[in-house]
């Protein structure tokens, strides 16, 4: 696997390792869910919050837990990198491998339900969960807003997620969707 994808997966891992203990656990996913709910300003016991919790539980079950090679309920960076490198090899598989999860995240980030993610919605969600500063989120958002409409359409969002996980273009703004690469 190339160095760029390794760096991207490491950045994704740092965002998902909410407590910073060098492993992603079910508790990290619960905490991430709580942060999403708080960032959206919705009641923790609302239908929207329950949808978030269900989405994140599904994310744990379908994306993160399968990477746990040693079955210790802690997914390390090495395990994530190995699993992602093995899974995300052919962009043609995006519709079944990542699109359903990306659709759920899009719907949850689209706080006002208008079918697009505004800069504010993007900053709230990706800043709170990706641990990125507001100015960094705004910069990434502007680069991902390909049609310069002031919002990310579902198509723009899918293009960015696909490029992040499958792409190898070092100049792609999608490389920074979870925060700037170091």
- Is it the case that residue 165 has pLDDT exceeding 70? yes
Q: Tokens at residue 118, please?
A: 């505004």
| pLDDT tens by residue, 26-45 | 999 888 888 878 877 889 99
Q: Which pTM value belongs to this model?
A: 0.86
Reference 157, options 93, 110, 90; nearest CA is: 110
Task: Judge residue 122's burial from the number of C-beta atoms within 10 Å of its C-beta, 0-12 exposed, 13-18 middle, 19 or more buried.
Answer: buried
Q: Find the mean pLDDT for residues 66-94.
A: 94
């Amino acid at each position: 696997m190339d160095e760029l994808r390794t760096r991207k997966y490491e950045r994704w891992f740092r965002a998902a390792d909410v407590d910073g203990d060098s492993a992603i656990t079910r508790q990290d996913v619960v905490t991430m869910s709580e942060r999403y709910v708080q960032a959206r300003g919705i009641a923790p016991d609302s239908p929207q919050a329950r949808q978030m919790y269900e989405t994140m539980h599904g994310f744990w079950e379908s994306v993160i837990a399968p990477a746990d090679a040693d079955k210790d309920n802690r997914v390390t960076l090495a395990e994530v990198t190995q699993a992602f490198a093995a899974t995300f090899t052919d962009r043609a598989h995006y519709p079944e491998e990542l699109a359903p999860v990306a659709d759920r995240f899009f719907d949850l980030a689209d706080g006002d339900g208008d079918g697009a993610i505004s800069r504010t919605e993007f900053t709230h969600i990706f800043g709170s969960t990706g641990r990125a500063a507001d100015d960094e989120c705004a910069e990434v958002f502007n680069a991902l807003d390909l049609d310069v409409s002031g919002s990310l359409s579902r198509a723009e969002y899918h293009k960015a997620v696909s490029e992040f996980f499958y792409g190898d273009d070092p100049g792609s703004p999608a490389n920074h969707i979870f925060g700037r690469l170091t």
